Amino acid sequence: MIRDIVVQLNGGDADKTRLAQADGLAGLFEAHVTGAFLNVVPDYATLIDGGVAAPGIRRESETIAHEFGDAAEARLKSELSHLKAPAMLRRYDVPRRELARVAAEAARAADVFVLSRPYDSGDDSAADTAEAALFEGGRSVCVVPPGASTIGAIDTVLVGWSNTRECGRAVAEAMPILRQAKTVVLASVARHGERDAELKAAADDMVRHLGHHGVPVEFRFLERKDDVADTLVREAQAIGAQLIVTGAYGHSRLREAVVGGVTRDLLRKCPLPLLMAH
């Protein structure tokens, strides 16, 4: 059961979209929402040491960061108070190089960690933060595209399926959502080779497994016409899915992330909310 949702906040315009998604998801499970406000403060290791000028630069940088944080905190507390779900705000004043670590730690203490599509802003720290939550947090991550409709009900879900640990993990993490859905499509992109038969056999096992949990599911092989991510998105849109569930492939070591091709493509351009797990 999903009881605890953490949503990444940074004081920017996209906070409202993430909060709305977290609130909608929380409403399905009577869950609690925690806003993790990651306020970036100066990193002394990266400030220029200019002799007598350095202390002044540091004080000014600290003042600007904390004033921004105070104003954003007040605004976010107000927004959280208007959510339907019970909610609280936690503020983290951290240097940019620590954002990924803090996000991963926050994700571990939640059932779902909600964040924006990570590569839209062009900010490397945003990508690092998202990848750390995904690959080091140990729980599922809900990735919200710009302008996404708020989740009010989950009628239809597409599960992007491959017979891998990551996909098995994603299905397990998504089980509370899948059990609420009216229609679940387990979809694999055909490879036209011997592995298709193996994939179909594994998919049949997963269909049986989901059935034992009361999930209404059907399996489909999808004809690949372009890249795999586009094929999955096109099928999700065709069936009217509100959510795509799939595994996340890659790893993050010392914040140098190596993200699998399909995972990166989905994180870059998927127009629907994604629930991913590693």
Q: What is the pLDDT of residue 223?
A: 87
33: nearest Cα among 82, 106, 114, 87: 87
How distant, in Å, are the alpha carbons of 23, 85, 115, 180 from that of 19? 6, 10, 9, 21
Q: What is the pLDDT of residue 194?
A: 54
Residues 140 and 12 in one domain: yes
Q: What is the pLDDT of residue 256?
A: 43
Q: Is residue 150 part of a domain?
A: no
Residues 162 and 265 in one domain: yes
Q: Whole-angstrom Cα distance, residue 99 to residue 101?
A: 6
Q: What is the pLDDT of residue 253?
A: 46
Q: What is the pLDDT of residue 53?
A: 45
Q: Is residue 173 part of a domain?
A: yes
88: nearest Cα among 28, 15, 3, 7: 7
Residues 242 and 130 in one domain: no
Q: Is residue 149 part of a domain?
A: no
**4 beta partners:** 32
Last-in-domain residue among 116, 144, 172? 144
The two counts, helices (H) then strands (E), for the chain are 8, 12
Last-in-domain residue among 144, 174, 197? 144
Last-in-domain residue among 144, 174, 194? 144
Residues 75 and 183 in one domain: no
Under 8 Å between Cβ of 109 and 121:
no
Q: Is residue 151 part of a domain?
A: no
CB atoms within 10 A of CB 87: 22
Q: pLDDT 10s per residue in the chain (278 long)?
A: 999 999 999 999 999 999 999 999 999 999 999 999 999 999 876 555 544 446 677 788 889 999 999 999 999 999 999 999 999 999 999 999 999 999 999 999 999 999 999 988 777 788 889 889 999 999 999 999 998 888 888 999 999 999 899 999 999 999 999 999 999 999 999 876 656 788 888 899 999 999 999 999 999 999 887 789 999 999 999 999 999 999 998 655 444 455 668 899 999 999 999 999 99
SS3 of 84, please? coil
Q: Is residue 140 part of a domain?
A: yes
112's enclosing H/E stretch is strand 112-116
| Distance, C-alpha 154 to centroid of its chain | 17
Long-range contacts of 175-180, Cβ-Cβ distance < 8 Å, separation of 24 or more: 175/213, 175/215, 176/1, 176/2, 176/29, 177/2, 177/28, 177/243, 177/245, 177/275, 178/210, 178/213, 178/215, 178/217, 178/245, 179/213, 179/214, 179/215, 180/28, 180/153, 180/154
What total of structural domains would you count in the chain? 2
Residues 193 and 262 in one domain: yes
Residues 43 and 111 in one domain: yes
Q: What is the pLDDT of residue 54?
A: 63
Residues 114 and 197 in one domain: no
SS3 of 271, please? coil
Under 8 Å between Cβ of 207 and 140:
no
Q: Is residue 236 part of a domain?
A: yes
Residues 139 and 10 in one domain: yes
Lookup: tokens for 62: 């600290």
Q: Check: pTM over 0.85? Answer yes or no.
A: yes
138: left (phi over 0), alpha (psi -120 to 50) or beta: left
Q: What is the pLDDT of residue 238?
A: 98
Residues 124 and 164 in one domain: no
Residues 132 and 259 in one domain: no
CATH number at residue 118: 3.40.50.620
Q: Is residue 58 part of a domain?
A: yes
CA-based torsion, 259, 265, 266, 267: positive or negative = positive
Q: Whole-angstrom Cα distance, residue 274 to residue 143?
A: 5
Q: What is the pLDDT of residue 255?
A: 42
Radius of gyration of the CA atoms of the chain, in A = 20
Q: Is residue 33 part of a domain?
A: yes
**186 beta partners:** 159, 219
What residue numbers bound the domain in which 122 lies?
Answer: 4-144
Residues 177 and 119 in one domain: no
132: nearest Cα among 248, 9, 226: 248
Residues 32 and 97 in one domain: yes
